[in-house]
Amino acid sequence: MPPAVGRESVYGLELAGEDDAFAAREAACAASAVDVVAPGLATARGVDADRLRTLAYTHRASRLLGRCAASVDAARSLVEAATMDRSGTVAVRARDVRGTAAVDTRRLERELGAALVDRGFTVDLDDPDHELRVCCADDTCLVGWLVAESVRDYGDRRPTDRPFFQPGSMDPLDARALVNLAGAEPGATILDPMCGTGGTLIEAGLVGARVVGVDAQRKMVRGARENCRAYLDGEYHLLRGDATSLPLRDDAVDGVVFDAPYGRQSKIARHSLTDLVGGALTEAARVAPQAVVVGDRPWAETAADAGWTVEETFERPVHRSLTRYVLLLRR
């Protein structure tokens, strides 16, 4: 992993989505001591800027000048009193996160821009040397210098736009978050033993991981290979196989992620759904130290029977009739 940027500094994180606990857990893949402090906002003690750019549910990280009440006067006083370790041109960008702070963001930008001009900066809204982020939510305001933004290119990989598509394919934003939680990073090997069309493999590969996909259906293996070929330059391996009897040695991979079948029987006729998921979890525990399993029901008891410790469980509503349960597992 590349060196962190300013590990002794405190950072503000702008979270994406509506589930702050889930976003903060993914953010911990790129930061330490992540703490949600207001809706859509968190602080962290250290940030790996390169790793943060690969996160799905964090928009930005800023090195904090400080934290104050969500008001124009409080934010200006903070900027006027802060120690400045930089100079040059600057732009101020203010947000009322989720509309919870009832603060005038345009006035915030004007007032803080004026305070920075008084400190010797020149305002340049088009191509500034530095960007000051001012993020307000409820009664909290985080003010800091932008250091990293995540790459928001998920619309380029919509399931319906891939060479091979099947209904029920996971959105790439969620697939990215899941592979991050499973340990995807440069140099790691990530396995999906029910890879389907290969969405998780694509996202793990784009993070820099080596990927291995297994599926019981020959059609899916061919299609996943076609999709991986379209998006990945790195190492990927696809094979037809049974998730309950993987052709891999013990501890062969660094993490496992899979989306269990939803409310239907397995395509492998000899397995019931419970036997399939239980067997896949048992095999996952043989080949990896950590896993993420997703399903339309909480598979916690089955995971424990397979030898896993359930670290966390998240409920992720998809629509009125579907909630995804995301389990983070450790051996």
- For residue range 101-155, list pLDDT tens digits in order: 999 999 999 999 999 999 999 999 999 999 999 999 999 999 999 999 999 999 9
- Residue length of the chain: 331
Position 218 confidence tier, pLDDT thresholds 50, 70, 90:
very high
Could you give the CA distance from residue 159 to residue 63 in angstroms, rounded to a whole number?
A: 36
Q: Where are the beta strands (DSSP E) in the chain?
A: 11-15, 31-32, 35-38, 41-44, 46-47, 58-69, 89-96, 122-123, 130-137, 140-149, 189-192, 210-215, 236-240, 255-259, 290-295, 309-319, 322-330
Answer whether residue 5 shows pLDDT above 70: no
Distances (CA, A) of 85 to 31, 88, 145, 180: 22, 11, 11, 33
Q: Quick count: other Cβ atoms within 10 Å of Cβ 49?
A: 18
Contact 130, 169 (CB under 8 A): no
Position 318 confidence tier, pLDDT thresholds 50, 70, 90:
confident
Q: Which helix (H) or strand (E) holds 112?
A: helix 105-118
Answer whether residue 4 shows pLDDT above 60: no
- For residue range 7-40, list pLDDT tens digits in order: 459 999 999 999 999 999 999 999 999 999 999 9
Please compute Rg for the chain using Cα positions: 22
Q: How many CA atoms lie within 13 A of 148 on its CB side?
A: 24
The model's pTM is 0.93
Could you give the CA distance from residue 267 to residue 86 in angstroms, rounded to a whole number?
A: 60
At residue 264, the pLDDT reads: 54
At residue 1, the pLDDT reads: 33
User: What domains does the chain contain, in order, with CATH numbers?
Assistant: 11-149 (3.30.2130.30), 154-330 (3.40.50.150)
